[in-house]
Every structure is written in C-alpha cells, then in structure tokens.
A and B are shown apart, each in its own frame.
Chain A
Amino acid sequence: MAASIGLSLLFLSAGWATLPTRNPPPTWVYRLPDPGSVAAADAIPVFIMRADRSTLRAGQANVKADGRIDVTLYDPSDPRLIDGSEGLLFNADLRVLWLMASEEERAQLQRGLEKLGRGLREAVDAVLRSPEFNEDYRSALTEIGRETIEAAWRDPRTRAAYEELLRSAEPVLREAVGRDLKAIVLKRAEPLLWEMVSANVGSLFSVFHAHQWDLTPVEQAMDAIQRDVRERALIEKTAQRILDSWQAKDFLRTFAGNVVDAVARDTRLKDVLARLLTDQRLGPYLSAASQPAGELARMTPQVLFGVHPQSDLNALAAYTFRGFVTGRPGPLIILMNAQRREEILALDRQSPRPLLHGTAQ
C-alpha cells in the first residue's frame, strides 16, 4: 500500500512539475517612447542576447494600450540578465535576423551576394554570346522588341504625351539658347572679330590677289564655345530640366506602359521565352551563377536561421520564420546590454525601437 501511494505521488508530482506557470507577476516593466505606435498584444516573446550575439528565449511580454510593456522572465535570477536589461522592440522579419548576425556573418553574406551578382552577369553574357542564342533567339527577340516599341510609339496616347513634352521643352530650350548659350557666344564673338582681322589683314590690303580667308580663329572660337558649353554642363542641365518636368514623366510612364502592354499582348514572346528557359543547350552557360547561388542558398539559412544538423534551438529564427510563413510577423523584444543596443541602433535607426525603463504600478 505504501509503495502504491509513494509511486502515485511520485508520478503526480512529476506531472505537476511539467505544468506551465499561469499568470506570474511581471519581472520588469518598460514603456514605449511613443505610446500608440504599437498595438496592444499578449504573449510577445522576449529574448536575451548572449555574448556571442546568439539569442535565447527568456520570457514573454504583454504590450498594453498605453504603451506599458510588462515583461515576465522565465528565470528572473538568470545571471545574464544582470547586464542585459536594455530592451529593443523589433518586428519579426528578416531584418532582425540580419541585425543579430555578427559583422563577420554579414560580411560573409555580402560576399556571397556579390559573388552571385558577378556570376549572374557572366552567365547572362555567356548566354547572349552563345551561338545557340544568336541563331535561335536573338533575331526573334530583336524583331519582337522592335515591333513592340514601334507599336507603343504609334499608340495615340504616346503621341499625345510626346507632343505635350515637346511643347513643354520648347520654352526651356529657348531660355537655354537665349540666356546661357548667348552669353557664351557673345563672350567669344568679340575677340573673334579682332583675331579674324589680325589673321586676314594681308588679304584685306591685297585686293588684286585671290587669297583664301584664314578661318582658324573661327574654328578656335567654336571649340572654345563647345568647351564652355561642356564645362558648364549646359546640355545636361537643359536635358535635366526637361526630364524633371511632369510632361516628361507622363510621357515616359505612358510609353513604358504601352511597351509593356504590347509585350503582354505579343504571344510570340511567350513562346520564345518558354523555349529559351527550357533550352537545355543553354544550361552550361549558366554554370557561372549556379555555384554561387548554391553557396548562398546554403549559407543564408545557416547564418540567419542557425540551421544545421546539430544546432540547439534558435528561438528567434523560429519565431521569425513562423511570421514569415504565416504572413503575420508579430513584435518581439530582445534584451541586451547598452553597448550592443548602440551597435544595433548604429546599423539601423528605423527598425528597432528602444524601450524605456518603466516602473510597476
């Protein structure tokens, strides 16, 4: 009998020890610097950042409507919390994982991205230079491109926008010619007169002999005018003024839209692209991009999500991943020391929101 009672009590106490703690009092209280910027929420996960920048789930928090945040820690006596009470509020997206990565990890990812970019460029170049592409696709794609651009150009809406652009460009051109170009020309015209006289003075007094006029000063003046125009970036400034006008933007928008519409309507393009993308002959030309792409695909989850066979739990990555998959990224809080907080804020002033220490009421 005693053995049975003992065993029953042992089993019950084992089970009791597994039950979750309900409604424990908050350990720490924070407040948002701008109450109302975050909606009230329950059971926000709280993490603590360790010395190696990895995070550990440490509790949960409730955000009240007045901006007060009650943080309940799993283990308030955790020694890591002594120097880790500065809180940052994040949204659970890839940005937070990027910020939590070490400088070395971020540099590693950037190197991977650059390598992939180079590889892609090489791959595209190789495809465009390949005989298969030139024989089977180039002419077709060029023809389609030309026809779609022509079709878009002929479109009445494009023509109307272009006319409007010309009308708006005329005063700009007139002003450029009348003010800037005139000043340059006049500046060069006065010396030109005397240089012409000086160069052709012999000819002026030898009226019975047919001499050619020396036009070298004129050519020099023209070169100087062109140089001045270049130095003052007169053409660029005029073109920039034209392009900054709403008429130019409207024209470009209308034209681009009509090109896209024409491309979408063109069934030949779909056929050509389908053949191009499934053309196994072009596969070898893409090898320059496949290796860096594979490396980046392997490296990114390892760096950001901590995914490898023997990994302990990366609760931050798990929570972020869930938000990513469900499309509902919620807020989260990471506790850290002041130095870390400043480092993260130096990287990104917008995404993380520093929490102020509050007092329990």
Chain B
Amino acid sequence: MTATSTSLDIAGLTIHRPSGALLVRDATFTIGPSEVVLLVGPSGCGKSTIVKLLGGLLDTGREGWAVAGRLGCGGRSIDLGQERSHVGGIVFQDHALFNDLSALENLRIAADHAGGAPDPELVSGATALLGDIEPRKTIASCSGGQRQRLAIARTLLADRPVLLFDEPNSGLDVNMARRLGELIRDLCQSMGKPALVVAHHVKDLLPVADRVLLFDTRSRRLVEVPRDAEIIEAELLKLDADGGAPTATGAAPAPAAAPAQTVQPRRNPWPAAIGHRSKLYWFGRYMAEYFWELCVSPLMLIYMGAGALIMGFVSMWFGFHYNSFGGYLKSLLHDETLVGLGLVQGTVAVPLISSILFVARNNAIIAADIGNRVLSSQFKAMENLRIEARTYIFSSILINMVVGSLMLLVLSLGVASWSSMQTWHLQFPQQNFELWRGQFFQKLILEGYRPASSMGWVLLKVALSAVLAGAAAIVIGGGRKDSVLEINSAIARSIIIGVTLTLLVHAVISVLTL
C-alpha cells in the first residue's frame, strides 16, 4: 500500500452553532503521518461536528455554522471559514453503508468516485479487511463487525489524506472494539495517513492512540491529556458533573456484533472484483434500481392491474345499470353510452386511478427510501465520497416516475379496456365484441390506430402529476430525520401531498381541456 506521509494541521479553529452558541474556541492541533489521535468528550459536546467539518459535511455560511480557522494538509492550506475541507474520509458512527447496494457495490462506487482508476495497492490494502465477507452479500445480511469493516474499506477506497472515525466502537463489545482499534492503527501505519478518532468510550481504543485530545466543554477548547484511562475518565466525570455538556443520551443498545468468524486462508476475491466503472454505469445502476422498484416490480404490476380491472368493471357495469332510466334505456342509448364510457374511462377515470395508485404507492417508497438514507447518513456518506446523489438518486426517481407512470398508464388502459369489454359482454351476451370495439374507442383511437389528440393531454396530466408528486416525496423524505417515527410521518405526508397534487393536476387539465 502506498504510504503518503501526510499530516493534518488545524490552527485557531473556532465554531459557532447556527443558533450562535459557541461550540469550540481557538482549537489548534496537529496530527502527524500515521498518527492516531483520540478526540474524547461528553456526549453531544460537538466532537462529531469537528469530524463533519474536516470531512466537508458541515453547512457553513450565513444561515449555518460559523467557522473560523485554517487547515493545512499535504502542503495545502484552507481557510475553513471560506471553503470546505475535503481532506477527510469519514467512517460514520452508524456506518452509513448504502443498503440498496451489495457489499461489493458499496466499495465499487467509492472507488469509482475517488478520481481516476483506483490504485491496486490501495484496493488490495483496503479489501484485506474483508476476507471473510462474500462480495455479493447484501448489507442487511452482514454482521455489525462486517459492516464496520466494509465502511472502513469504503472510506479507504475514497483515498482521502486524513481518516476520520466517528465513534467507531459504538455498540461493539470489548474484543471487537480492541480489534477495531488495532485495525485502525495498522491502516494508519501502513498508509502513512493521520487519523482522528472520535470516541465516547475510550478504554478500548486508548492502547492504539498516540495522543488524546479532550473536548473541554467548560472552556470550549481542545486540551491534550495524558493517555491514561483513569485520568481521562476523571476529566470526563468532572465535565459531566459541571454540566458543561448536554445530558448524555447514551448510545442505543445496538445488536452485538457477531464474533469474528474463523476465516479459512483463501484468496481475497475483492481486489479483482472491484475494477473500475464509469459514472454512466452508476447512473444506469440507479435507474435500473428505481425502475424495478417504482415501475415493474411484480407486486406493483398486480396492484395497478387490479385497480384497472376494477375500474373497467365498475365504469361499464354501473354506467349501464345505474343511469337515469335504469335498465330501460340501456338498449336504446347503448351506442352513445358506450362511446361516452370509453371517452370518460380512457381520458379521465383510468388515468386518474392509475395516477393515484401509482403516486400513493411510490411516494411512500420514495419518502421511506430517502428518509432512511437521511437518517442513516447515507447522503452525507455519498457527499463525503463525492458521489452525486442528486444526479443518481433524485434524477433516477423523477425520470422513473415519469416513465413508469406513462408505462403503467398504458398497461392500466389495456387491462381496464379488457375488463370493460368482458363486463359489457356479460350484460349483452349475444352481441359481437367488434361492436364494443367500434363504439368504445370511437373518440380515443382514430383511423389507423392513431390516438386522438385528447390522449396527449392525458399523457401530460399523468406525467406532470407523477413528476410533481415524486419531487414532493423527495423534498419531504429529504428533510431532517432524527428517528424512524419521522420517516413514518414523512411517508404519510408524502402520500397525502402527492395524491392531492395528482388530483389537482388531473382536475385542472381535465377542466381546461373540456
């Protein structure tokens, strides 16, 4: 693995919260090449904020965090108050793995967006941690330890000068935490990169740290303390007792990491599997993912087909049975009724029911998907890994909302028409189907199967409602999420707003094109 021998210099770092409260004042420290520095402090004191700042994820500016100070790294000096730092690759506390991608794809996407073809030595070194993980495994089926190592490997493949670990031992047992600490130290030494490790529980990581910085919440300064667990804990207790830090909420008990499996010596399949792909590939990958999820999953097709089937039956059955004169005039007014039902079903009823079903279902999925990505810091991880989330995810969603809504409209029209035709035949069993065909499509399909101009408006309202509803779901799902409850709430809101927008678009265009 290539050793870079980079150091990180922070000088005069001062951060104010968006509320104006001081977070840290005039912090100055250096982390040398291959050096591991622990940053300790009470929960909620702002340690992770410093990591986010160094990873380029802190929103600064007029409405955001106020930052002052300079950062030096690899011969480059950055005014942190003016520009973002992208020197740090972050290993997030909750791993922030992309759970829609496989284990291998999580690494591939990081490597492909690191800039240029990945260094084989870097790939080899980063994936050396993953010998016991099957590359095609899904993230959901990985143990806590495997996820931790996948997150570290992914960050290493991003090839940033500084490694930033945000409470990496959170939720791990003692053995796993110590093994993790050794892993971090070995990586730093082999790669020559400085590492800043934010930790709340220091005992397990202390043996691998070269130095320890204490976040003094009374003075709002970073103070170097001896590498002595008792001294550090005493200092932390004092800080807690002085109430300088917000009340610690404590980490939620995470499922215990699976014990390290006994790994049979074998060839590491990861380096050969990672390879290199263009951004177009990843765009196509996300397009395909959302195309499947939003448009053509079997359940979606069954759901839409059932809606169209019912709509076709209802409009034909009740159209003939429950008109003003009951069954008396159904024979006399048959042709006109059929032409009218065809027009209403093809231009109003089926497009509306198709749009509502499509939007209700997909807005729930989008809000849940985006909300989950927000809650599990996946967007932050993407940003840190320089992956264009908006290009890949948002545009894929919106394109698939339009394409899927039109595609499913065609399928729904087909199913509803078939259902209508069969329902009509139930009521008029002696008549030939061709009579129905001629009348039902009279105002929808012109000579030579050319669609009537009114179908253009139908396509417009279906596509417009889908794209507006999809955008609403993205906005609602992408809002701040601190709990699963907020995702649930976002799902409900996105369904209501999406369906309301759909109704409005359909109503307005239908009225305008009367």
In chain B, residues 326-355, which have Cβ atoms closer than 8 Å to a Cβ of chain A?
326-336
The listed residue (B297, B329, B414, B429) touching A307 by CB distance below 8 A is B329
How would residues 1 to 28 of chain A score, 1 for a CB under 8 Å from any chain B CB and 0 otherwise?
A: 0011001100110111111111000000
Q: Given contacts A4-B301, A11-B414, is CB(A307)–CB(B434) below 8 Å?
A: no
Chain A nearest Cβ from B6, distance in angstroms: 47
Contacts of B434 in A (CB 8 A): 20-21, 59, 74-75
Chain A residues 310 to 326 lying within 8 A of chain B, measured CB to CB, are 310-315, 317-319, 321-322
Nearest B residue to A15 via CB reads B414
Q: Is the CB of B432 within 8 A of A57?
A: yes
Partner pick for A15 among B330, B333, B411, CB 8 A cutoff = B411
A152→B327 CA distance, assembly (Å): 55
Which of B305, B413, B431 contacts A57, CB < 8 Å?
Answer: B431
Across the interface, name the chain A residue whose C-beta is closest to B329.
A307
Residues of chain B contacted by A75 (CB below 8 angstroms): 432, 434
A317 vs B132: C-alpha distance in the bound complex, in angstroms? 80
A18 touches B411 (CB 8 A): no
B225 lies within 8 A of chain A by Cβ: no
Name which residue of chain B comes closest to A24, CB basis. B434
Residue A345 at the chain B interface, CB threshold 8 Å: no
A15–B448 alpha-carbon span in the complex (Å)? 16
A19 to B434, CA, bound (A): 9
Interchain nearest-CB distance for A206 vs B (Å): 96
List, in ascending order, chain B residues with CB within 8 A of A309's CB: 326-328
Q: Are A11 and B447 in contact (CB under 8 A)?
A: no
**Smallest beta-carbon distance A307→chain B, Å:** 5
Q: Counting CB contacts under 8 A, is A306 at the interface?
A: yes
Kindly count the residue-residue contacts between A and B in the assembled complex, taking CB atoms under 8 Å apart: 119
With A11-B414, A14-B415, A15-B414 in contact, do A21 and B298 touch (Cβ < 8 Å)? Answer: no
Distance A134 CA – B272 CA, assembled complex (angstroms)? 117
Pick from A11, A59, A306, A321: contact of B415, CB below 8 A: A11
Provided the pairs A15-B410, A18-B418, A19-B445 are in contact, do residues A314 and B432 lie with their beta carbons within 8 angstroms? no
A57-B431 Cα distance, complex, nearest whole Å: 7
Q: Once the chains bind, are A312 and B331 in contact (CB under 8 Å)? A: yes
B297 touches A4 (CB 8 A): yes
- Which residues in chain B, 390-438, are within 8 Å of chain A measured between CB atoms? 410-415, 417-418, 420-421, 428-438
Interface of A is mostly: mixed
Distance of A16 Cα from B415 Cα, bound (Å): 9
Query: Is the CB of A181 closer than 8 A to any CB of chain B?
Result: no
A59 to B238, CA, bound (A): 96
A4 to B413, CA, bound (A): 17
Chain B positions within 8 Å of A311 at CB level: 327, 330-331
Please, which residues of chain A bring their CB within 8 A of the CB of B433? 74
Asked if B441 lies at the interface with its beta carbon under 8 angstroms from chain A, I say yes
Q: How far is the CB of B23 from chain A (nearest CB, A)?
A: 51
Min CB–CB distance A177 → chain B (angstroms): 65
- Per the 8 Å Cβ criterion, residues 432-472 of B in contact with A are 432-438, 440-441, 445, 447-449
Does A308 sit at the interface, judged by CB under 8 A?
yes
Task: State whether A306 touches B305 (Cβ < 8 A).
Answer: no
B305 touches A11 (CB 8 A): yes
* Chain A residues whose CB sits within 8 angstroms of the CB of B411 once the complex forms: 8, 11-12, 15
A15-B418 CB under 8 A given contacts A318-B334, A318-B335:
yes
Asked whether B508 is an interface residue with its Cβ less than 8 Å from the other chain, the reply is no
Q: Is B296 an interface residue (CB 8 A)?
A: yes
Which residue on A lies nearest to B447, using beta carbons? A22
Contacts of A17 in B (CB 8 A): 418, 421
Tell me if A307 and B431 are in contact (CB < 8 A).
no
Q: Does A56 contact B (CB under 8 A)?
A: yes
Q: Is B140 an interface residue (CB 8 A)?
A: no
Contacts of A4 in B (CB 8 A): 292, 296-298, 301
Say whether B428 contacts A19, CB under 8 Å: no
Q: List the B side residues contacting A19 at CB < 8 Å.
A: 437, 441, 445, 449
For the complex, give the distance between the alpha carbons of A224 and B29 in Å: 158
Residue A305, interface by CB 8 Å: yes
Most buried by B among A16, A60, A321: A321
| B431 & A18 in contact (Cβ 8 Å cutoff) | no
A313 is contacted by which of B417, B431, B438, B445 (Cβ under 8 Å)? Answer: B431
Which listed residue, B298, B334, B432, B436, touches A7 by the CB 8 Å rule?
B298
A20 touches B431 (CB 8 A): no
Q: Is A8 a contact partner of B430 (Cβ separation < 8 A)?
A: no
Residues of B within 8 A of A14 (CB): 414-415, 417-418
Q: Determine how close the nearest CB of chain A comes to the CB of B39; give it in whole angstroms.
A: 48
User: In the complex, what residues of B have CB within 8 A of residue A322's CB?
Assistant: 335-336
| Minimum CB–CB distance for B294 against chain A, Å | 12
A32 at the interface (CB under 8 A from B): no
Is B302 part of the binding interface, using a Cβ–Cβ cutoff of 8 Å? Answer: yes
Q: Is A92 an interface residue (CB 8 A)?
A: no
Chain A residues whose C-beta falls within 8 Å of the C-beta of B421 in the assembled complex: 17-18
Nearest B residue (CB) for A20? B437
- The chain B residue sitting closest to A311, CB to CB, is B331
Indicate if A58 sits at the interface (CB-CB under 8 A): yes
Chain A residues near B441 (CB-CB < 8 A): 18-20
Asked whether, in the complex, the Cβ of A15 is within 8 Å of the Cβ of B331, the reply is no
* Extra 5 A-B pairs, beta carbons < 8 Å, given A312-B429, A318-B334: A15-B414, A18-B441, A305-B331, A312-B431, A319-B335
Could you list 6 A-B pairs, sorted by A, with CB under 8 Å?
Answer: A8-B296, A11-B305, A20-B438, A57-B435, A314-B331, A315-B335
Residues of B in contact with A (beta carbons under 8 Å apart)? 292, 296-298, 301-302, 305, 326-336, 410-415, 417-418, 420-421, 428-438, 440-441, 445, 447-449
Chain A residues in contact with chain B, CB under 8 A? 3-4, 7-8, 11-12, 14-22, 56-60, 74-75, 305-315, 317-319, 321-322
Which 4 residue pairs are nearest across A and B when measured between Cβ atoms?
A15-B414, A20-B437, A14-B418, A74-B434
